[in-house]
Amino acid sequence: MDGMGDGHTPGMNGTTVPPPHRHKMMMMHMTFFWGTQAEILFSGWPGIRTGMYALAIVFVFALCVLVEWLSHSRLFIPAKPGFAAGVLRSLVHALRMGLAYLAMLALMSFNGGVFLAAVSGHAVGFLAFASGAFVKPEE
């Protein structure tokens, strides 16, 4: 085929399309990798600074703990059911799901540190809010 190894992409009608003019291509990982230079949630964040990477890891950890708290919290169960109570519970559910999807998007960075932060955040959140490990036994 003409144009197949010369840096041009063949078009639908057999013409060739020149490559973009020196656009910076971002390398997106499709497998887990270890390193502090990753993009998590936002373009350019945390960047190349190790301190910002550590902040991103703490953010993902806290985000997952918050998701577990919202999942197992009994603060939002009203004594009287009704429309207002249903709306409040629906809003809390929407917040919880939004935060869970945000954590999932952070995991899509394929960074091993982010993965470990998310799993440990969920584990710590479950331990604190759902496992019953901190409930005093009745005597």
pLDDT(1) > 80: no
What is the per-residue pLDDT across 102-126, written as a single tens digit (0 to 9) for each? 999 999 999 999 999 999 999 999 9
Greater pLDDT, 17 or 130:
130
pLDDT at residue 137, as a whole number: 82
- Kindly report the pTM of this predicted structure: 0.75
How much is the average pLDDT of 37-48?
89
Q: What residues have CB less than 8 Å from 53, skipping those under 6 apart?
A: 36, 37, 38, 46, 113
Domain range annotation of the chain:
50-133
How much is the average pLDDT of 23-38?
74
Greater pLDDT, 80 or 59:
59
